[in-house]
Amino acid sequence: MSILSAPPARSFIHSPSVGSENSAFVTLDLIDTHLDSLYSQQLILGYNLVVIMDEDQEADELISSSQARSVTHSLFPYLFARIQMPLNSQMNILDFMLRLDFAQIS
């Protein structure tokens, strides 16, 4: 399936690591393993994990600052995840990410 025919990617912020650089990077490594497994099983089309250090990086990653603030309350850094799901996915990515302490922002 072409990524061009897929629904919009979903965006998440890891709530517990907001404001803690160490926690954000440690969590990035752990979450990367989970998402890589989903990608290998073709349950997701792709993903991007990044620790957002400041407003400039947030803008560069095309993250809505108003949506991010609802979770981060303007604190940096934070762990951001963008996940591309296939059409008609049988996986509930929202439930999966909520269990990993992420909040959906789009």
- Position 24 scores a pLDDT of 97
Task: For residue 105, give the nearest of 74, 65, 49 by alpha carbon.
Answer: 65
What is the strand order of the sheet 46-52 is part of? 46-52, 78-84, 10-14, 102-104
Q: Which pTM was predicted?
A: 0.91
Task: Give the tens place of pLDDT for each residue, 40-49.
Answer: 999 999 999 9
Nearest CA among 103, 101, 92 for reference residue 38? 92
Residue ranges of the domains in the chain? 8-104
